[in-house]
Amino acid sequence: MKLIGWNCRGLGNGPAVRSLPDLGRVEDPDIVFLAETKMTAKELERFRWMLGLVHMTGWNSEGRSKGVALFWRRGIDVVMRSYGRRHIDVDVREEDGRLWRMKGVYGESVMERKIEMWHTVRILGQQHQDGRPWICLGDFNEILSDDEKVGGVMRPQTMMDNFRGALEACDLTDIGYTGDKYTWRNHSRDINI
């Protein structure tokens, strides 16, 4: 099973729209979670065909900000647990009968509202059934340590601790990544850090 989580920063911009068909063709994903779509669920309908994934659910953006969407291929049974402006939480049953849980997240960017996001994560964690695999993907809009950012104001330790506490309460672990640590560089080798 191949999952992709992508903060596309708006599907109205040319590079994102051009990248989506390539994502579907090259990666051939089974499930795609998109964060910060900046579109309504109705506007997102056309992208399921670009991805080659026939099923879709989405949460409308607020104006031209936010918005989340989940696309999945035929033959995968997805049952909605809950969804909102910042998350989509589903149970997934594969063709072979395996059952697991997936939560796509687009975290609060406003510092004062992050505590609401961590509260939601904790509640969803309390509803989790022990022993069943669970993956959370997307963009939490938070870091676990200062070495995950470059420049700017240092992140308040309490913010990182609150994020870490929410993950620990749910028994979630950062599985790491492969590739450029700072995705905002767009793989540019000319930027020295």
138-187: per-residue pLDDT in tens?
888 888 888 888 878 888 899 999 999 999 988 888 887 777 666 656 55
> How far is residue 150 CA from its own chain's centroid?
22
In a domain, 118, yes or no: yes
What gap in Å lies between CA 67 and CA 85, rounded to an integer?
6
In a domain, 99, yes or no: yes
**Beta strand 134-139 with 31-35: parallel, antiparallel or unpaired?**
unpaired
pLDDT at 73 over 80: yes
In a domain, 47, yes or no: yes
Residue 129 is part of which domain span? Answer: 3-175
Q: What are 1-10's pLDDT values in tens digits?
A: 899 888 887 7
Q: Is 44 left (phi over 0), alpha (psi -120 to 50) or beta?
A: alpha
> Could you write out the DSSP letters of every residue in the chain?
--EEEEE-S-TTSHHHHHHHHHIIIII--SEEEEE---S-HHHHHHHHHHHT--EEEEE--BTTB--EEEEE-TT-EEEEEEEETTEEEEEEE-TT--EEEEEEEE---SGGGHHHHHHHHHHHHHTPPTTS-EEEEEE-S--SSGGG--SSSPPPHHHHHHHHHHHHHTT------SS-S-GGGTT-SS---
Cβ–Cβ < 8 Å for 59, 36: no
In a domain, 87, yes or no: yes
In a domain, 41, yes or no: yes
Tell me the whole-structure pTM to 2 decimals: 0.85
| Number of structural domains the chain divides into | 1
In a domain, 189, yes or no: no
In a domain, 184, yes or no: no
In a domain, 190, yes or no: no
Q: What are 28-62's pLDDT values in tens digits?
A: 899 999 988 888 888 888 888 888 888 998 887 77
CB-neighbour burial class of residue 64 (10 A; exposed 0-12, middle 13-18, buried 19+): exposed
What gap in Å lies between CA 64 and CA 163, rounded to an integer?
26
Q: What is the CATH number of the domain that holds 139?
A: 3.60.10.10
What gap in Å lies between CA 11 and CA 61, rounded to an integer?
11
